[in-house]
Amino acid sequence: MTNNEQEYREGLELYARAQRLLATLRDSVGFELAEGTRQRFLRLHHVINATPRLPILERLVPTRDLHRHWLRIFTDSAIGYTQEGLAACYYHLNNLGSLESEMVTLVVSHVDELRLQPGQVMAVGNTRRLDFEYQAFVLAVRRTLEYFAVSVGAFFKREAHRIRGLADSIRGSEPEEISTRAITRLNASLNQIAYVLPLAEQMTTIRDQLAHWRPVPAGTLNITRGPDRIYVGLLGGGQNLRLWNSEVEVRPTLREENGVVIGLLSPLLADELTRVEDFMFSVYADMGLA
């Protein structure tokens, strides 16, 4: 065997060992977006990097009169930072869902031992791991929207760092037909993501409370014995979960197992995150990019 053949074989063996290590690391510390979300970003990536470049994006490349590299800012923010932020949202949501499922499964398996009488309620404290993941989720959603605002602002050659002020930042910018369409979408979507983006500037969101005033819990674990069944799940918290007065309060997602009604927060948050994701890609579509 020649030296070159020996080096080649050693190189292949090193590559195989490295691949085994990388696979182990991916399982341990990696995280991947769901396929549907990943495909959305891949399509956006292909549109942005198409050859020849779209005229709507060519206008963002620096020239003698345009020194700011708006295309780079837009690209980094849209398919880089916004994607990473959304991945963090889903990571914390998955963790919250796993913890919540583990919690209610444990309670349901022991609930008969409590021998609660109709009308009796047991509230359980120190569910901090749930609280921490919920708080991280809310903060991740808001910062993802701020990253998204940077990308939209850059598309219109405007500085924008706050989702709340995005509509004002791009108002009147060129192409005006597209900026008007994006502003309409922004205004119409506010009530769908009001828990991180309030309908009025003076309103305080859960995110604002977390960032500036106080910790907000995911909720308090309640075990309630009704006339013919038992309720187990989170109540109160940042989403103000309630079983009653459903026209005013937010109801958790309910399912029933063997006479035990289980209320879950994580599916409710998953629906809200889907609305946020759909909102962002709808704006990119309005810009002709998704």
What pLDDT, in 10s, does the model give residues 10-21?
Answer: 788 888 888 887
Instruction: Supply the pTM of this predicted model.
Output: 0.89
Share of the chain above pLDDT 70, in %: 90
Instruction: Kindly indicate the confidence band of residue 251, based on its pLDDT and cuts at 50, 70 and 90.
Output: low
Nearest to 146 by CA among 174, 126, 165: 165
What pLDDT, in 10s, does the model give residues 126-164?
Answer: 999 999 999 999 999 999 999 999 999 999 999 999 998
Q: Tell me the residue type at 169.
A: S
Nearest to 222 by CA among 208, 239, 207, 241: 241
pLDDT(261) > 90:
no
Q: Region 249-260: what's the mean pLDDT?
A: 74
**Dist. CA 249–CA 257, nearest whole Å:** 24
pLDDT at 246: 47
pLDDT(290) > 50:
yes
pLDDT at 208: 85
pLDDT(205) > 70:
yes
pLDDT(112) > 90:
no
pLDDT(274) > 80:
yes
Structural domain boundaries of the chain? 70-286
Q: Region 204-225: what's the mean pLDDT?
A: 89
**Dist. CA 45–CA 36, nearest whole Å:** 14
40, containing H or E segment: helix 35-48
Q: Region 88-108: what's the mean pLDDT?
A: 95
Q: Residue written as tokens 């038992």? A: 230
